[in-house]
Amino acid sequence: MQRFNFPVVQPDPALEELRGELQAFLKEEREAGNFRPEPECWMASADPEFSKKMGERGWIGLTWSSQYGGHDKSALERYIVTEETLRSGAPVAAHWIADRQHAPMLLAHGTEEQKLDILPRIAAGECYFAIGLSEPGAGSDLANVKTKAEKVPEGWKINGQKIWSSGAHMCHYMVALLRTSPADGRNRHVGLSQIMIDLSLPGVTIKPIVDLSGDAHFNEVYFEDVIVPDDCLLGEEGGGWKQVTGELAMERSGPERFLSSYITLETALYQLSGKMGSDSHARLGKLIAGLRTLKGMSWGIANLLDQGVSPETEAALVKDLGNRLENDLTQQVRAMLNDLSSEDWSPDMRRIMNIGVLRSPPNTLRGGTTEVMRGITARQLGLR
Amino acid sequence: MINTQGMVAETATKIYTDLCAREVPHEAEAGRYPQALWDALTENGLPLAWVSEANGGFGADLDEVFGAIWASAQAASPVPFAETLIANWMLDRAGLAPADGSASFALSGHTPSADIPFGMHADKIVLFDEAHHEISLFDNRVAVRSPEESLSPDGMTQFVFSGHVAEQSAKTDLSRQAFEALILTVRAVQMAAAMESALNLSIDYVTQREQFGRPLSKFQAIQQQLAVAASECAAATMAATQAASAIARHSNDPEQAWHEAVIAKVQIGHSVEAVTVPFHQVHGAMGYTQEYDLHHYTRRLWAWRDALGNEHLWSKRLGEALAVTSPDQVWKGVTTGDWTDRKSVAS
Of the partner residues B232, B245, B266, the one whose CB lies closest to the CB of residue A289: B266
Tell me, yes or no, whether A6 lies in a domain: no
Q: What confidence score (pLDDT) does residue B156 get?
A: 80
Nearest to A291 among B234, B260, B334 (CB): B334
Boundary (domain end) residue, out of A216, A242, A268: A242
Q: How far is CA B14 from CA A55, A101, A177, B18, B71, in A?
A: 55, 45, 50, 6, 9
Residue A248 lies in a domain: no
Residue A318's pLDDT band, with cuts at 50, 70 and 90, is: very high
Please indicate, yes or no, whether residues A236 and A265 belong to a single structural domain of this protein: no
Q: Which of A125-134, A168-177, B155-164 has the lowest mean pLDDT?
A: B155-164
Q: Quick one: A258 and A231 in the same domain?
A: no
8 Å CB contact of A276 and B319: yes
Give residue A1's pLDDT band: very low, low, confident or very high (50, 70, 90).
low
Closest chain A C-alpha to B162 CA, distance in angstroms: 34
A1 occurs within a structural domain: no
Residue B141: pLDDT over 80? no
Query: Tell me: the pLDDT tens digits for A145-162?
Result: 999 999 999 999 999 999
Average pLDDT, chain B: 93
> How many Å lie between the alpha carbon of B335 and the closest alpha carbon of chain A?
7
Q: Are residues A164 and A198 in the same domain?
A: yes
Mean pLDDT, rounded, for B130-152: 83
pLDDT at residue B346 greater than cutoff 80: no
Structural domain containing residue A314: 253-380
The total number of structural domains in chain A stands at 3
For range A65-88, the mean pLDDT: 96
Claim to verify: residue A171 and residue A268 sit in the same structural domain: no
Residue A247 is assigned to a structural domain of this protein: no
Residue B171 burial (10 A CB sphere; 0-12, 13-18, 19+): exposed
Q: Give residue B113's pLDDT band: very low, low, confident or very high (50, 70, 90).
A: low
Lowest mean pLDDT among B74-78, B156-160, B272-276: B156-160
Give rounded-to-5 percent helix, strand, coil for chain B. 60, 10, 30
Task: Give A371's contacts in chain B (Cβ within 8 Å).
Answer: 224
- Mean pLDDT over A47-69 rounds to 97
Q: Mutating which of A8, A84, A301, A304 best tests the B interface, going by the most B Cβ atoms within 10 A?
A: A8
Q: State whether residue B231 sits within 8 Å of chain A by CB.
A: yes
Question: pLDDT averaged over chain A?
Answer: 95
The answer to whether residue B227 neighbours chain A at the CB level (below 8 Å) is: yes
Given a cut of 50, is residue A135 above it in pLDDT? yes
Q: So what's the ipTM on this one?
A: 0.96
Residues A123 and A137 both lie in one domain: no
Confidence of residue B347 (pLDDT cuts 50, 70, 90): very low
pLDDT at residue B111 greater than cutoff 60: no
Q: Which of A193, A210, A242 is the last residue of a domain?
A: A242
* pLDDT computed for residue B345 by the predictor: 39
Query: A116 and A142 share a domain?
Result: no
Residues B64-81 have pLDDT tens digits of 999 999 999 999 999 999
**Are the C-beta atoms of A253 and A177 separated by less than 8 Å?**
no
Q: Which of A269, A296, A381 sits opposite B230 (nearest CB)?
A: A381
Residues of A in contact with B200 (CB under 8 A): 3
CATH code for the domain of A110: 1.10.540.10
Instruction: For an interface test with B, give the residue of A83, A293, A376 to mutate (most B CBs within 10 A).
Output: A293
pLDDT digits (tens, 9 = 90+) for A324-333: 999 999 999 9
For the segment A335-350, the average pLDDT, to the nearest whole number, is: 94
pTM score, whole prediction: 0.96
Which chain A residue has the Cα nearest residue B201?
Answer: A381
Determine, for residues B207 and A5 on separate chains, whether the beta-carbon distance falls below 8 Å: no
Residue A196 pairs in a beta bridge with A175
CB pair distance less than 8 Å for B230 and A377:
yes
d(CA A66, CA B313): 52
Cβ-defined contact of B333 to A293 (cutoff 8 Å): no
Task: List Cβ neighbours of B214 (8 Å cut-off, separation of 6 or more).
Answer: none
Of the candidates A74, A100, A127, which is a domain's last residue?
A127
Residues in chain A with CB shorter than 8 Å from the CB of B270 are: 286, 289
Q: Are A224 and A259 found together in one domain?
A: no
Chain A to chain B Cβ contacts (< 8 Å) = 178
User: Does the pLDDT value for residue B343 go beyond 50?
Assistant: no
- Please, what are the domains in chain B? 7-171 (1.10.540.10), 176-336 (1.20.140.10)
Q: Which residue of B has its CA nearest to A83?
A: B335
Same-domain check for residues A191 and A300: no
On whether both A269 and A375 belong to a single domain, the answer is yes
Instruction: State the DSSP string of A136-187.
Output: TTBSS-GGG---EEEEETTEEEEEEEEE--TTGGG-SEEEEEEESS--BTTB
CA distances to B71, B89, B190 from B45, in Å:
16, 14, 20
Task: Look at residue A68 and tell me if it is in a domain.
Answer: yes
Give residue B261's pLDDT: 98
Please write the tens of the pLDDT for every residue from B324-335: 999 999 999 999
Would residue A328 count as lying in a domain? Answer: yes
Q: Where are the alpha helices (DSSP H) in B209-256?
A: 220-249
B315 to chain A: which residues are within 8 Å by CB? 281-283, 285-286, 289
Mean pLDDT on A164-186: 95
* DSSP for A330-384, written as a single string: HHHHHHHGGGS-GGGS-HHHHHHHHHHHHT-GGGGTTTS-HHHHHHHHHHHTT--
Question: What does the pLDDT look like over B302-325, one tens digit per residue?
Answer: 999 999 999 999 999 999 999 999
Pair A103, A137 in one domain: no
Task: Among B203, B311, B314, select the one facing A383 at the smallest CB separation.
Answer: B203
Please say if the pLDDT value at position A316 is more than 80. yes
A378 vs B contacts (CB less than 8 Å): 223-224, 226-227
Residue A269 sits in a domain whose CATH number is 1.20.140.10
Q: Which residues of A are catalytic?
A: 251
The CA-based angle B107-B108-B113, given to 5 degrees, is 115
Contact at CB, B267 and A290, closer than 8 angstroms: yes
- pLDDT-derived band of residue B344, with 50, 70 and 90 as boundaries? very low
Share of chain B above pLDDT 70, in %: 95
Average pLDDT over residues A293-297: 97
Are A360 and A288 members of one domain? Answer: yes
Q: What is the pLDDT of residue A11?
A: 79
CA distance B188 to chain A (A): 13
Segment B4-19 shows an average pLDDT of 96
- Amino acid B82: pLDDT: 98
Q: Tell me: do A190 and A237 sit in the same domain.
A: yes
pLDDT of residue A10: 81
Residue A371, pLDDT > 50, answer: yes
pLDDT interval class at A308 (50, 70, 90): confident
Chain A nearest C-alpha distance from B111 (Å)? 23
CATH number at residue A191: 2.40.110.10
Chain A within 8 Å of B336 (Cβ-Cβ)?
A: yes
